[in-house]
Amino acid sequence: MMTFNIGRRALMASAVAVLGFATPAMADGHKILDSIHFLIPGGAGGGWDGTARGTGEALTTAGLVGSASYENMSGGGGGKAIGYLIENADSNHGTLMVNSTPIVIRSLTGVFPHNFRDLTLVSGTIGDYAAMVVGKDSPINSMDDLIAAYDADPSATAIGGGSVPGGMDHLVAAMVMEAAGKDALGVKYIPYDAGGNAMAALLSGEIAALSTGFSEAVDLANAGEVKIIGVTSADRVPAAPDAMTMMEQGIDTTFVNWRGFFAAPGLPDDKLAMYQDAIAQMYDTAEWEDVRARNGWVNIHNSGGDFQTFLEEQETVIGDLMKKLGFL
């Protein structure tokens, strides 16, 4: 098993080197780690993949880490990689696994038997707010209008999203309606298999509103194709200063879809501190700013204990809501 792993990693590393990822570290004397192996619980090209590769790129080009290698391990909606990291904890001290909000949601639903407490929490690094979006020609201009339309005819006011029922987009829609004093169970949620298809359905008039990631909607909103009627951030987001927050409209709810890194259980404290240090220093580098801006990510840094508090809070809120909706 071990030799197999090494072979696989060597292969990945060489592939990476050929493709020009592993730019030689500019040894500025502030190198913190020699190498990081990123474990990506999904296939190439997804959000997790982009986060891990982007972070690795910033860390290595900034000279904080000597080299980075990447391994995609999909299966079980991320559960396979989590299981692998826990089962092979001792040989994986050099590994960081990327994950995001679904680790909380999916452990709650029991899709996989582990949860974030079984892992060593390193840092939450980036995030994206959620947004309610309507088409440009829609008579709906604010959350009040949407709620009025929902009251008038709940069955004709379908809200779409890019996740399964009980997934993130659905929970956000339910959370918002719940906070607005409506019955979250009555919301007609229509699931699409990808954000792009959900957006097309919104523009074609199949659904009345779309629950989606803020970054997925902001470009179309700036182009005048859609209107963002509510953002789940505490304050307005600079990228779309006209988009009102939910709080402003009297809907007391906030939500962040975070992405961050986990390590194997039982990771020695000094090693953990090194990872956290490297990530913390990364935020001040121009290389990270490049990667971040290119991907439209929002810096939301939670390290160690803060990360744990953050995750536990999110788990409580989402867990309560899912119980209410009958998903648990």
* Contact between residue 189 and residue 159 where contact means Cβ atoms under 8 Å apart: yes
- Taking CB under 8 A as the binding criterion, the range among 43-51, 118-126, 178-186, 243-251 that sits at the site for another protein is 43-51
What percent of the residues of the chain are helix, what percent strand, and what percent coil, each to the nearest 5? 45, 20, 30
* Contact between residue 5 and residue 95 where contact means Cβ atoms under 8 Å apart: no
190 binds another protein (CB under 8 A): yes
Q: How far apart are the first and last CA of the chain?
A: 37
Comparison of 7 and 268: residue with beta carbon closer to another protein: 7
222 binds another protein (CB under 8 A): yes
- Taking CB under 8 A as the binding criterion, the range among 126-134, 186-194, 274-282, 307-315 that sits at the site for another protein is 186-194
How far is CA 73 from its chain centroid? Answer: 17
Give the CA dihedral 83, 316, 277, 67, nearest 10 degrees: 30
Determine which helix (DSSP H) or strand (DSSP E) holds 100, and give its type and residue range. strand 95-100
Tell me how far apart the alpha carbons of residues 97 and 127 are, in angstroms, rounded to a whole number.
16
By the 10 Å C-beta count (0-12 exposed, 13-18 middle, 19+ buried), 150 is classed as buried
108 binds another protein (CB under 8 A): no
Which residues inside 270-309 make contact with another protein, applying CB under 8 A?
294-296
200 binds another protein (CB under 8 A): yes
- Taking CB under 8 A as the binding criterion, the range among 79-87, 256-264, 278-286, 302-310 that sits at the site for another protein is 79-87
Comparison of 165 and 304: residue with beta carbon closer to another protein: 165
In angstroms, give the least distance from the CB of 16 to another protein: 10
155 binds another protein (CB under 8 A): yes
> Judging by DSSP bridges, how do beta strands 189-191 and 159-161 pair with one another?
parallel
204 binds another protein (CB under 8 A): yes
The token pair at 203 is 């523009």
Comparison of 45 and 305: residue with beta carbon closer to another protein: 45
Determine which helix (DSSP H) or strand (DSSP E) holds 235, and give its type and residue range. none
Q: Is 270 left (phi over 0), alpha (psi -120 to 50) or beta?
A: alpha
Among 66, 75, 94, 265, binds another protein (CB under 8 A): 75
Among 29, 181, 224, 326, binds another protein (CB under 8 A): 224
Comparison of 84 and 275: residue with beta carbon closer to another protein: 84
DSSP 157: -
| DSSP one-letter string for 141-153 | -SHHHHHHHHHH-
Number of residues this chain uses to bind another protein (CB under 8 A): 56
Comparison of 29 and 110: residue with beta carbon closer to another protein: 110
* Contact between residue 83 and residue 303 where contact means Cβ atoms under 8 Å apart: no
- Taking CB under 8 A as the binding criterion, the range among 142-150, 189-197, 252-260, 278-286 that sits at the site for another protein is 189-197
Which residues inside 4-33 make contact with another protein, applying CB under 8 A?
8, 19-21
Among 10, 26, 194, 234, binds another protein (CB under 8 A): 194
Among 44, 148, 185, 273, binds another protein (CB under 8 A): 44
Determine which helix (DSSP H) or strand (DSSP E) holds 53, and give its type and residue range. helix 47-61
Length reported for the chain: 328
196 binds another protein (CB under 8 A): yes
- Taking CB under 8 A as the binding criterion, the range among 160-168, 176-184, 235-243, 253-261 that sits at the site for another protein is 160-168
Give me the residues that bind another protein (CB under 8 A), please: 8, 19-21, 43-45, 49-50, 53, 57, 71-77, 79-80, 83, 109, 111-112, 155, 158, 164-167, 188, 190-194, 196-197, 199-201, 203-207, 219-220, 222-225, 294-296, 327
